[in-house]
Amino acid sequence: MMKLISTDTKEATLVTLDGLLDDALAAQLEGFFVTCNNPVKQTIHIDLKQVEAIKPEGVRVLLNAHINANDNILKLVNANAGVKQLLETVGLGELIVH
């Protein structure tokens, strides 16, 4: 089952993804980014621990979020080896927190 859970902390907004980052989960993530697009600087951590793989639509959403981050800080955390390799291949390696 795929799901997106957003939790606000003092330091950041943590977005936990669970399942395959396919079209459906990518649409949920894109909706999240639309709602958090405000003038206040935010730190957003996308937790990929439970993400098995990322489909092209998921890559597109992450790339767009990175490009349109404005003053927001976007970090990708807890990616497995396969997901990490894909993110590095598509130019999102700088966002990965090791």
CATH number at residue 32: 3.30.750.24
Q: CB-based contacts of 65: which residues, under 8 Å, 6+ apart?
A: 29, 33, 74
Supply the pLDDT for residue 74: 92
78 touches 47 (CB < 8 A): yes
- CB of 95 within 8 A of CB of 66? yes
For the whole model, what pTM was predicted? 0.89
pLDDT of residue 40: 65
- Total domain count, the chain: 1
What residue numbers bound the domain in which 41 lies? Answer: 3-97
pLDDT along the chain (98 residues), means of 10: 85 93 95 76 92 96 90 92 96 90
